[in-house]
Structure 1
Amino acid sequence: MGRPHKPLLDRVRITTTALELVDEQGDFSVPQIARRLGVQTASVYHHVDGRDGIVELLRERICAAIDGGTLDGKPWDAAVAAWARSYRAAFAAHPKAIPLLTTSPVRAPRVLEQYEKAVALLIDAGFALPDVMPAIIALENLVLGSALDMAAPEAMWELADDTATPRLARALAAFPEGGRTDTAFELALAGYLTHVRGMPDGV
């Protein structure tokens, strides 16, 4: 019998299956991956460095959709804004992965390369070294929070009786339909950039 044209198991298939499980249920287990691929659990471990290794493969897969080239742009604040929008879009496609990835250290080399570029961008722009990581972490908090918000219903407030909360009812009625998350994200991003521009040694 000839050998199969494609391997029955590889890191790409493992990552794809793990991401499918995370998109469905917010987590995965190695036995679940094995069952879905029709292989033994031990076979999966031959290709990956345990569960932590799969988490990093997931991180690489999702972050591959972030346009790291935006960090090569000028001026720095326009580059950061473009990176933030691309970052948000990548994680908005897989919101259930956010809790999983934010509770484990970043080890994936390709992802660390993007952080390296972000750090270099801010240092080259004149930011003091102690301010660099707080600025990046704050941006991530904004981006990931908004990515989660994109998975929420468009109508987040259901008022049974407008007279009980009349001001809220008027504010909701005045808010344009559609684009709730985009409007809020752009407002928060603008506020973030205004603050960061004023940090010591920032320009």
Structure 2
Amino acid sequence: MGRPRTPLLDRERITTTAMELVDEQGDFSVPQIARRLGVQTGSVYHHVDGRDGIVELLRERVAESIETAALDGGVWDEALAAWARSYRAAFAAHPKSIPLLTTSPVRAPRVLDQYERAVALLLDAGFALPDVMSVITGLENVVLGSALDLAAPETLWVLADETATPHLARALGATPRGRTEQAFELALAGFLAHARAMLAAYDE
């Protein structure tokens, strides 16, 4: 028999299948990927560097959706805000990947390149080198927390007896639609204001 025109297995299909599993259940295993693709587990290992390699392929898949052009110039705070909004949207599409990807070291070259550009942006803006990674990590905390919030139920607080928590009941009743968007923009604005204050303090 001749070889099939389309390979039965490649890194693209492995990544897609792993992402499907993560979107469904928050994790994956190599045997699960193999079963879903109808191949032997050992065949998957011929194409990837084990489970850690698949995690990095997932990281790159999510990062493909992040718009990074803003990091290459312009006003630093506007650039960070644009990056943050795109970063949030990319992870909001795969919220169950967040615990998986944030608890393993970042090795994917394409993703490391984003951080390289963000570091260069902050250094060019005048941030002190010891503060740069704290600024980036703080921004990620805002972004990833909000991405998880986007996946939360619309009704997140259920009050069985409003008389027991009257202030909460009033606040919930007055909350407009789009709470998650407003909360993200509030947190982002507060973060950027603090970062601007850090930058200004260097000159004092």
CA distance in structure 2 between the partners assigned to 1:125 and 1:201 by the alignment: 12
Written as runs of structure 1 = structure 2, the 5 A alignment for 1:118-133 is 118-133=118-133
Find the counterpart in structure 2 of residue 53 from structure 1: 53
- Give the structure 1 partner of residue 202 of structure 2: 201
Runs of 4 or more, structure 1, over 6 Å off, are none
Deviation at 1:201, TM superposition (A): 3.2
- Give secondary structure in 1 for the equivalent of 2:142: helix
Please name the residue that 1:12 is paired with.
12
Please report the RMSD computed on the Cα atoms of aligned residues, expressed in angstroms. 1.1
Give SS of 1:198's match: helix
Inter-partner Cα distance in structure 2 for 1:113 and 1:158? 43
Question: How many pairs align?
Answer: 201
Amino-acid identity (%):
78
Aligned positions of 1:1-203 closer than 5 A: 1-177=1-177, 179-199=178-198, 200-201=201-202
Question: Residue 3 of structure 1: CA displacement?
Answer: 2.2
SS at match of 2:3: coil
TM-score normalised by the chain length of structure 1: 0.96
Task: Measure how far apart 1:158 and its partner are.
Answer: 1.1
Give structure 1 stretches of 5+ with no counterpart.
Answer: none
Q: In structure 1, what is the Cα distance between the partners aligned to 2:13 and 2:70?
A: 29
Amino acid at match of 1:173: G
Deviation at 1:132, TM superposition (A): 0.4
Q: Taking structure 2 as the reference length, what is the TM-score of the superposition?
A: 0.96
State the Cα distance separating 1:160 from its structure 2 match.
1.6
Q: Which amino acid aligns with 1:57?
A: L
User: What is the rounded CA distance, in whole Å, between the counterparts of 1:10 and 1:62 in structure 2?
Assistant: 18
1:104-156, CA deviations, whole angstroms, 9 ceiling, x for partnerless residues? 00000000000000000000001110110000001011111110111001111
Gaps of 5+ in 2: none
CA contact (8 A) 1:71 1:83 kept: yes
CA–CA separation in structure 1 for the residues paired with 2:180 and 2:202: 32
1:180 partner letter: R
**Contact 1:154–1:180 (CA under 8 A) maintained in structure 2:** no
